[in-house]
Amino acid sequence: MGTGTAWKITSQLRDNIMKYANYKQTSISLRQMVQFGPNPSPGSIFLASQFIVEELPIRLALKVKDLENAPLDLSKQPSTITVKNWYAQSFQELTDLPKPQISEQLQKLLSSSIPASSIVNQFQEEDNSILDRSRSSANDSTNPAINNYFSDDGIVVRHHSHLPHHKNLGGSSSSTARSESPTFGKTYYTSCASNIVWPKEVYDYNKLVCDTLTTIKKRHDATVATMARGVIEWKEHNKTVLVNADIQNFLDRFYMSRIGIRMLIGQHIALNMAQASPTKQRINSFLNGSSSSKSGPNGPNNGGYNNKSNYVGVICTDCNVGEIAEDAIETAKYVCEDYYGLFEGPEIQLIMPKEDISFMYVPGHLIHMLFETLKNSLRATIEFHIPKLKAKMIAEDPTLTEESIDINDLTFPPIKVIISEGIEDICIKISDEGGGIPRSEVPLIWTYLYTTVSQTPELDQSQNSFKAPMAGFGYGLPISRLYAQYFGGDLKLISMDGYGTDVYLHLNRLSSSSEPLP
């Protein structure tokens, strides 16, 4: 795996990247994502693999072009160049993949596809309609919200009724580029029979693409941390404290498009993991019966997030919001207790006027947003109340000193997590008594690398993923808001300076709309 230092972009590769950067991206709807079903057909994965190998280079090329054109010399920073080279190397690996050899037998199998409508109807029946809320309990032994393997992956699925369906508004060059695009007129999902044994070349190609995507995904795990380092380098070079508005807008666009790329990669890897090999098909049929996936939430296969029929790739068709919130609470409290040396962190109360709220979502995204906001509330609560509580104890017992009071003897006010289900969205309010934020500073919390921590932690040069500490990078809230907005929701904050802060996380009920790509 390249590090971005020894590997360089050749002039020939750069020309090819710029060629792909002029192509139009092909959007993918959530409906296409879930049509694969919990046990995807190897044939459908095979066709989707071909689509991915043609679509991803377009998106990667656009990232290289954007990084080359980053504003105000951000493009010249060493870490920015490293990230650019990662995208270029991933582009090269995908475009260098050999095309699959499709025999006459395989061509016949791929041509005898099942009508897409029957696949959708079957899947909707099995899951009591994928766009309606389902009810299930959870077993966290294989819960993606806990192992969080695909926590950085997402897809745009919000409606954009105010935008034209295509954004090439009459320019001949734009329409030509779109018609020449490798994925023009193609779709990610194509229905194929699942009750047949596919030729070996299908599994071989699926594995080749999956292994390549796994390598690419690992290479880009450190992108957030490395771009953060690039912005730090820019700030030091320009001797400034705050991020310029142009760079703020660039980073918003950069991370927003990154989410879509990560979702496409993460979803395809997960679908490959779930595809049924001939051996698995026979074993599953023997052990569970051919209709085992229809047992429903109250049937023998009920296992909440461990129930395979609840998942299509990284998308959970009945994501239980309360259970995800409990996971986020547990994780945030653990990090907090470890950071401050507490035996027991501040209490976090989970309040749900209506129990068992579920909807279709990516659990890894939800736990990420909740974890980041809860972490902020815990830190604010502890640091705001330590001097107040110590002063109160000293007033009651003058023999005490600040140094002699153990932080574990302090009782902090609770943090409340309130979950409400509405017609259009699900809203989660995280309410703390952590002292709030001065009104003049509220806009700054959405800027990258803004933090109230006096010293920013060092970024580990060797880490392969961005694992933020308790606080200090100033990336938690801005990126969490991008995740929420990317799904058609939002993240808002209302503060009472001197008392506390309320964070409102609005989660849009996902629909079948497509990615709003530029």
User: Of 342-351, 359-368, 428-437, 462-471, which gets the smallest average pLDDT?
Assistant: 462-471
pLDDT bucket at 185, cuts 50 / 70 / 90: confident
Burial of 113 by CB count in 10 Å (0-12 exposed, 13-18 middle, 19+ buried)? Answer: middle
Cα(201)–Cα(83) distance, integer angstroms: 34
Q: Are 430 and 328 contacting, i.e. CB atoms less than 8 angstroms apart?
A: no
Mean pLDDT across the stretch 281-309? 42
Question: What pLDDT was estimated at residue 130?
Answer: 35
Question: What pLDDT was estimated at residue 488?
Answer: 82
Q: Are 230 and 73 contacting, i.e. CB atoms less than 8 angstroms apart?
A: no
pLDDT of residue 60 exceeding 90, the answer is yes
Mean pLDDT across the stretch 71-95? 95
- The structure's pTM equals 0.77
Picking from 183, 472, 121, 132, the residue whose alpha carbon sits closest to that of residue 318 is 132
Question: What tokens appear for 206 in the block?
Answer: 């699926």
Residue reference for tokens 């068992």: 356
pLDDT bucket at 280, cuts 50 / 70 / 90: low
User: Of 132-136, 169-173, 256-260, 424-428, which gets the smallest average pLDDT?
Assistant: 132-136
Give the residue with greater pLDDT, 504 vs 225.
Answer: 504
Go through 143-157 and write b for each residue having 16 or more CB atoms within 10 A of its CB, e for each that does not: bbbbebebbbbbbbb
Q: Which CATH class is domain 314-508?
A: alpha beta
Q: Are 107 and 219 contacting, i.e. CB atoms less than 8 angstroms apart?
A: no
pLDDT of residue 193 exceeding 90, the answer is no
Other Cβ atoms closer than 10 A to 406: 9
Give the residue with greater pLDDT, 350 vs 306.
Answer: 350
Q: Are 47 and 101 contacting, i.e. CB atoms less than 8 angstroms apart?
A: no
CATH entry 3.65.10.10 includes domain 11-119+185-284: no
pLDDT of residue 145 exceeding 80, the answer is no
Question: What pLDDT was estimated at residue 116?
Answer: 45
Question: What pLDDT was estimated at residue 118?
Answer: 43
pLDDT bucket at 294, cuts 50 / 70 / 90: very low
Question: What pLDDT was estimated at residue 113?
Answer: 59
Average of per-residue pLDDT values in the chain: 79
Picking from 327, 359, 344, the residue whose alpha carbon sits closest to that of residue 423 is 359
Cα(330)–Cα(324) distance, integer angstroms: 10
User: Of 78-92, 118-132, 133-147, 199-213, which gets the smallest average pLDDT?
Assistant: 133-147
Dihedral (C-alpha) 125, 127, 133, 137: value to the nearest 10 degrees?
Answer: 150
Mean pLDDT across the stretch 63-90? 95
Go through 217-228 and write b for each residue having 16 or more CB atoms within 10 A of its CB, e for each that does not: bebbbbbbbbbb
Residue reference for tokens 């899947």: 123
pLDDT of residue 169 exceeding 70, the answer is no
Side by side, which strands form the sheet with 315-320?
311-312, 315-320, 358-361
Question: What pLDDT was estimated at residue 238?
Answer: 87
Give the residue with greater pLDDT, 192 vs 148.
Answer: 192
Amino acid at 297: P
Question: What pLDDT was estimated at residue 117?
Answer: 41
Mean pLDDT across the stretch 229-233? 90
Question: What pLDDT was estimated at residue 32?
Answer: 82
Question: What pLDDT was estimated at residue 88?
Answer: 97
Q: Are 109 and 198 contacting, i.e. CB atoms less than 8 angstroms apart?
A: yes
User: Mind telling me the catalytic residues?
Assistant: 368, 372, 375-376
Share of the chain above pLDDT 70, in %: 73
pLDDT bucket at 8, cuts 50 / 70 / 90: confident
Amino acid at 481: R
Cα first-last separation, the chain: 30
SS3 27: coil
Question: What pLDDT was estimated at residue 160?
Answer: 36
User: Of 234-248, 318-332, 466-480, 502-516, which gets the smallest average pLDDT?
Assistant: 466-480
Amino acid at 371: F
Question: What pLDDT was estimated at residue 458?
Answer: 55
Give the residue with greater pLDDT, 340 vs 304.
Answer: 340
Question: What pLDDT was estimated at residue 472?
Answer: 45
pLDDT of residue 177 exceeding 70, the answer is no
List the domain boundaries for the chain.
11-119+185-284, 314-508
Mean pLDDT across the stretch 39-57? 94
Residues 6 or more apart whose CB falls under 8 angstroms from that of 146 comprise 140, 327
Amino acid at 514: S
Amino acid at 149: Y
pLDDT tens figures, 386-417: 999 999 999 999 998 888 999 999 999 999 99
Question: What pLDDT was estimated at residue 390?
Answer: 94
Share of the chain above pLDDT 90, in %: 46
Give the residue with greater pLDDT, 501 vs 147.
Answer: 501
